[in-house]
């Protein structure tokens, strides 16, 4: 009986936790350590750089008792630290804009001096321009990788607005920068293996079908075209290379395309050292994986000069792993972060993955044959185990659209399986030769492998040096109509600015216990919550008539709120599947769109204001149309002729504010957007418009001005409405990430301080928008109205008459601004 059990145990599907234990260090109270870089000093102390620009020195990081770890705040104030390396002369940190040497001069475990090694790459101010690192080669050169920015027409489409965005760079110890390879998209991790080969990892998106592991050699181009603007001959010609057209430069193929089911955000790469518990994997590459929260393992080989191989999970259920590092005592440290990136919990801190001393049966080597695979295991497999192989292959599309599903998948027939003499390996022969340019997935059941499935990326075959791409060039999808055009984002950047409210906070809200009647609130910015319950309504300052709308909401158990359109007509939001998303005094939802407490719902639809005749008598009721929750239609069309109590008005009118109820129960809302509905041709507006080129012209009296504008990311322009000697009334056009006065703001001494200031980013950069400004001059004051995309966002009276002045468009208020203007017209009134 005992003998049977000993034989049988390895044949069962084993649990990873028998072989590797995971525990977590406890950071100092209140600190959130969002790991961006990790390395050890000679004493085995752990240095960690974070997305918050801190560097922590952690003593005893690998002690079996996690409470023995001692945290010291070594440095702070850096601009993100997404890579760290400890060398004899200091701690090197890759900041967003600088490679820096940190020196503790007096040995008190606090950095005293930050020395700039290099700032030799560009930043445009786009939030997505992360800089990653930081392996060092035998000659002391550093390697860093630079993210492209994200921009329209799709928010995830990469752009390279400054030198070397989308490149891997080599930086010499004295700070000289050598651009090494380009075509990278979101290169979150780097690593040098035990053969001194440099690798980087990329994240799926445009021109990246899935995450990949790339062997980097000087001159490589990995396929994302945005970075080509900094490569010859494009650079000399000043070309801005299209990010939606197939580039003509020759691609370098990756070592691995990593299946989406295993990796959605790959982090750094570490070559496994010969440490206790890791001996079977020595020389393999371990990969951090953030979204799925695990550590992956890659077994590479060189086939006809091309580095390629197999990948598979190694340890799952760790957390949002962004960085890994092997502690010399034989513990794999895993640093976590997930802010804004969305990964498995925990989303910050340091995990420790420690072999338990019990060894699993794993693949040891995977070797590609022309018609199958030669496989080695980490231990002999007992006689009697009967292997069954399942094999299929597939490839990917290569295009500007976001990622690619597995394409052209087909099963491959297995011709036979042959054990080697000592049962430490076997050969799987397929019925037909393997094709290059495919990923092959192999699953071997029946012999008790802890991870029975691997995925091999075949770019070359033994005996055939030609590289055949797995990511196939295909007809790209049509460029989608810009989904953001025409919308105003009312809660972007400063979410309170476009609203009046009391008792609402911007936080992170979660409902870990679905039965809880209040959210678990932590600092953050993902939800607007009436934490001061009962709170006031959350009421837009602007008033609207017919609008298309989008917003998100989440309820705790018993949650109760409502969105009153025009402050009057309520769309019910409550914790009741058959009441939520109904129209009060109208209809109940016709389908269940509400999925319960703790779930975020995205609601969209249209609202039409009531219509009145010339005498002010209502002739058409207000109407809701096509209300959807997460794509489920809950209200087709619903007229409503009665005002809900508790809003902002008692009479039916033509325009009113949006009003989220804050006093009935708890609710979390977010991402509120509106777009004016234009149905059919616009009514004749009286005409009298004349074209204007934006040049300075003297302008008195009352006038209107309109145009179609498009302002670059980080751009700033000014439309002077009444300029006198460089001062006067003006409209701000500003898409910088840091401006206080954003597009639509009115500035000038004519207004009280604070009036006319818009802190909300109502418009997204590089997306066309309509502007209409109406200036009405009176005897002792003036009235200025600003319409963005047809919605009136400003209506201000000056406290003094508005003197005549110059009308002038200053398009490049901030150097480098690109302001595109079409159909600029003006008329006197």
Minimum distance between the CB of residue 614 and other proteins, rounded to whole angstroms?
A: 42
Instruction: Kindly state whether residue 64 participates in binding other proteins, applying the rule CB under 8 A.
Output: no
What single string gives the DSSP state of each residue in 243-271?
A: SSS---SPPPPPSEEPPTTT-SSEEEEEE
Segment (H or E) for 8: helix 2-8
CB 102 within 8 A of CB 90: yes
Instruction: Kindly state whether residue 118 participates in binding other proteins, applying the rule CB under 8 A.
Output: yes
Among all chains, which residue has been given the structure tokens 């630290």? Answer: 81
Minimum distance between the CB of residue 110 and other proteins, rounded to whole angstroms?
A: 9
Beta strand ranges found along 304-361 (DSSP E): 306-315, 321-327, 331-337, 348-355
Binder among 195, 242, 724, 737 for other proteins (CB under 8 A): 737
Instruction: Kindly state whether residue 525 participates in binding other proteins, applying the rule CB under 8 A.
Output: yes
Binding mask 349-388 for other proteins (x = CB under 8 A): ----------------------------------------
Instruction: Kindly state whether residue 801 participates in binding other proteins, applying the rule CB under 8 A.
Output: no
Q: Token pair of 413, please?
A: 């027939």
Tell me the three state secondary structure of residue 704.
strand
From the list 359-367, 368-376, 396-404, 809-817, the region that binds other proteins by CB under 8 A is 809-817
φ/ψ of residue 358, rounded to 5:
-95, 130
Rounded to a whole number, what is the distance in angstroms from the first to the last CA of the chain?
A: 100
Binder among 6, 479, 749, 800 for other proteins (CB under 8 A): 749
Instruction: Kindly state whether residue 176 participates in binding other proteins, applying the rule CB under 8 A.
Output: yes
Instruction: Kindly state whether residue 736 participates in binding other proteins, applying the rule CB under 8 A.
Output: yes
Binding mask 121-160 for other proteins (x = CB under 8 A): xxxxxxxxxx------------------------------
Beta strand ranges found along 206-330 (DSSP E): 212-216, 256-257, 266-271, 285-289, 294-303, 306-315, 321-327
From the list 325-333, 408-416, 454-462, 812-820, the region that binds other proteins by CB under 8 A is 812-820
Distance CA 581, CA 563 (A): 9
Contacts 24+ apart (CB under 8 A), 102-109: 102/55, 102/74, 102/75, 104/74, 109/57, 109/72, 109/74
Instruction: Kindly state whether residue 339 participates in binding other proteins, applying the rule CB under 8 A.
Output: yes
Distance CA 128, CA 344 (A): 21
Instruction: Kindly state whether residue 51 participates in binding other proteins, applying the rule CB under 8 A.
Output: yes
Binder among 617, 738, 779, 822 for other proteins (CB under 8 A): 738
From the list 48-56, 152-160, 288-296, 670-678, the region that binds other proteins by CB under 8 A is 48-56
Taking every pair of Cα atoms in the chain, the longest distance, rounded to a whole number of angstroms, is: 104
- Chain centre distance of CA 610: 40
Instruction: Kindly state whether residue 84 participates in binding other proteins, applying the rule CB under 8 A.
Output: no
Of residues 144 and 294, the one with the C-beta less far from other proteins: 144
Output the CA torsion 267→268→271→272 (10° steps). -60
Q: How many residues bind other proteins (CB under 8 A)?
A: 67
Of residues 95 and 271, the one with the C-beta less far from other proteins: 95
- Chain centre distance of CA 719: 33
Minimum distance between the CB of residue 267 and other proteins, rounded to whole angstroms?
A: 16
Of residues 175 and 280, the one with the C-beta less far from other proteins: 175
Of residues 123 and 296, the one with the C-beta less far from other proteins: 123
Instruction: Kindly state whether residue 89 participates in binding other proteins, applying the rule CB under 8 A.
Output: no
Binder among 382, 814, 818, 827 for other proteins (CB under 8 A): 814
Minimum distance between the CB of residue 790 and other proteins, rounded to whole angstroms?
A: 28
Q: Which of 736, 696, 746 is nearest to 716 (CA)?
A: 736
Instruction: Kindly state whether residue 15 participates in binding other proteins, applying the rule CB under 8 A.
Output: no
Instruction: Kindly state whether residue 217 participates in binding other proteins, applying the rule CB under 8 A.
Output: no
Among all chains, which residue has been given the structure tokens 């380009």? Answer: 182
Binding mask 629-668 for other proteins (x = CB under 8 A): ----------------------------------------
Peptide bond preceding 134: is omega within 30 degrees of 0, i.e. cis?
yes
Among all chains, which residue has been given the structure tokens 């699993």? Answer: 360
Q: Which of 550, 559, 562 is nearest to 601 (CA)?
A: 550
Of residues 137 and 812, the one with the C-beta less far from other proteins: 812
Beta-carbon count within 10 A of 735 CB: 25
Binding mask 265-304 for other proteins (x = CB under 8 A): ----------------------------------------
Instruction: Kindly state whether residue 31 participates in binding other proteins, applying the rule CB under 8 A.
Output: yes
Of residues 259 and 670, the one with the C-beta less far from other proteins: 670
Binder among 156, 278, 341, 703 for other proteins (CB under 8 A): 341
Of residues 205 and 790, the one with the C-beta less far from other proteins: 205
Instruction: Kindly state whether residue 175 participates in binding other proteins, applying the rule CB under 8 A.
Output: yes
Minimum distance between the CB of residue 418 and other proteins, rounded to whole angstroms?
A: 51
Q: Which of 63, 66, 55 is nearest to 91 (CA)?
A: 55
Tell me the three state secondary structure of residue 235.
helix
Beta-carbon count within 10 A of 178 CB: 12
Distance CA 767, CA 735 (A): 11
Cβ within 8 Å of residue 419, ≥6 positions away: 381, 425, 426
Instruction: Kindly state whether residue 725 participates in binding other proteins, applying the rule CB under 8 A.
Output: no
Of residues 98 and 270, the one with the C-beta less far from other proteins: 98
Of residues 276 and 340, the one with the C-beta less far from other proteins: 340
Residues forming the site for other proteins (CB under 8 A): 28-32, 51-53, 76-80, 95-98, 100-101, 112-116, 118-130, 163-164, 175-177, 179, 339-341, 523-525, 714, 716, 727, 736-741, 747-749, 751-753, 813-815
């Amino acid at each position: 009986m005992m003998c049977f059990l000993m034989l049988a145990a390895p044949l069962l599907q084993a649990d990873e936790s028998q072989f590797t234990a995971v525990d977590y260090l406890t950071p100092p109270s209140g600190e959130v350590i969002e790991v961006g870089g990790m390395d050890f000093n000679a004493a085995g102390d752990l240095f960690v750089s974070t997305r918050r620009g801190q560097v922590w020195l952690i003593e005893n990081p690998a002690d079996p008792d996690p409470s023995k770890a001692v945290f010291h705040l070594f440095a702070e104030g850096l601009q993100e630290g997404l890579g760290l390396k400890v060398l004899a002369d200091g701690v090197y940190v890759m900041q967003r804009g600088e490679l820096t040497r940190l020196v503790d001069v007096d040995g008190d475990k606090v950095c005293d001096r930050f020395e700039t090694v290099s700032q030799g790459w560009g930043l445009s101010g786009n939030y997505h321009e992360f800089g990653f690192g930081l392996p060092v080669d035998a000659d002391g050169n550093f390697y860093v990788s630079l993210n492209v920015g994200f921009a329209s027409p799709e928010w995830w489409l990469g752009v390279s607005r400054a030198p070397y965005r989308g490149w891997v760079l080599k930086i010499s110890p004295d700070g000289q920068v050598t651009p090494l390879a380009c075509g990278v998209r979101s290169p979150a991790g780097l690593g040098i293996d035990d053969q001194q080969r440099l690798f980087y990892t990329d994240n799926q998106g445009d021109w990246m079908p899935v995450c990949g592991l790339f062997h980097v050699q000087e001159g490589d181009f990995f396929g994302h075209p945005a970075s080509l603007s900094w490569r010859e001959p494009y650079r000399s010609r000043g070309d801005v290379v299209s990010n939606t057209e197939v580039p003509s430069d020759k691609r370098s193929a990756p070592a691995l395309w990593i299946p989406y089911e295993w990796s959605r955000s790959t982090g750094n790469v570490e070559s496994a050292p010969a440490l206790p518990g890791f001996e079977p994997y020595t020389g393999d590459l371990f990969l951090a994986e953030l979204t799925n929260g695990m550590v992956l393992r890659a077994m590479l080989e060189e086939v006809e000069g091309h580095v390629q191989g197999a990948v598979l999970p190694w340890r799952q259920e760790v957390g949002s792993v962004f960085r890994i590092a092997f502690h010399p005592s034989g513990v794999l440290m895993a640093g976590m972060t997930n802010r804004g990136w969305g990964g498995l919990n925990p989303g910050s801190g340091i995990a420790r993955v420690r072999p338990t001393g019990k060894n699993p049966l794993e693949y040891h080597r995977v070797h590609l044959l022309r018609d199958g695979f030669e496989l080695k295991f980490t231990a002999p497999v007992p006689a009697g185990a009967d292997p069954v192989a399942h094999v299929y292959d597939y490839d990917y599309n290569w295009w500007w659209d976001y990622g690619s599903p597995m394409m052209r998948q087909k099963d491959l027939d297995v011709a036979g399986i042959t054990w080697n003499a000592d049962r430490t390996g076997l050969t799987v022969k397929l019925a037909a030769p393997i094709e290059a340019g495919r990923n092959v997935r192999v699953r071997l059941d029946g012999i008790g492998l802890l991870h029975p499935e691997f995925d091999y990326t075949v770019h070359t075959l033994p005996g055939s040096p030609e590289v055949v791409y797995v990511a196939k060039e295909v007809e790209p999808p049509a460029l989608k109509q810009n989904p953001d055009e025409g919308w105003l984002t009312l809660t972007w950047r400063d979410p309170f600015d476009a609203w009046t409210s009391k008792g609402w906070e911007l936080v992170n809200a979660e409902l870990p216990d679905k039965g809880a009647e209040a959210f678990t609130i932590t600092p953050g910015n993902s939800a607007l919550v009436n934490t001061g319950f009962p709170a006031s309504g959350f009421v837009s300052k602007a008033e609207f008539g017919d609008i298309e709308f989008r917003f998100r909401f989440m309820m705790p158990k018993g949650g109760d709120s409502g969105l009153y359109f025009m402050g009057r007509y309520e769309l019910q939001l409550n914790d009741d599947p058959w009441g939520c998303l109904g129209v009060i005094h109208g209809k109940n939802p016709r389908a269940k769109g509400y999925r319960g407490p703790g779930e975020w719902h995205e609601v969209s639809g249209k609202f039409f204001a009531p219509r009145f005749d010339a005498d002010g008598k209502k002739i058409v009721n207000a109407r809701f149309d096509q209300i959807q929750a997460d794509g489920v239609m809950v209200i087709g069309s619903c007229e409503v002729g009665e005002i809900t109590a508790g809003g902002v008005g008692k009479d039916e009118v033509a325009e009113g504010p949006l009003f989220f109820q804050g006093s009935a129960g708890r609710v979390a809302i977010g991402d509120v957007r509106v777009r004016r509905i234009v149905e059919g041709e616009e009514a004749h507006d009286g005409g009298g418009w004349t074209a204007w080129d934006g040049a300075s012209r003297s302008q008195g009296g009352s006038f209107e001005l309109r145009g179609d504008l498009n302002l670059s990311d980080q751009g700033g322009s000014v439309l002077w409405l009444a300029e006198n000697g460089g001062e006067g009334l003006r409209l701000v056009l500003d898409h910088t990430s840091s401006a206080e006065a954003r597009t639509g703001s009115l500035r000038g001494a004519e207004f009280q301080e604070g009036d006319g200031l818009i802190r909300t980013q109502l418009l997204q950069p590089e997306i066309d928008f309509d502007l209409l400004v109406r200036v009405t001059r009176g005897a002792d004051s003036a009235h200025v109205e600003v319409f963005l995309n047809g919605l009136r966002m400003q209506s201000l009276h000056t406290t003094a008459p508005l003197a005549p002045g110059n009308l002038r468009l200053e398009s490049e208020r901030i150097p480098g601004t690109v302001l595109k203007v079409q159909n600029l017209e003006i008329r006197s009134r």
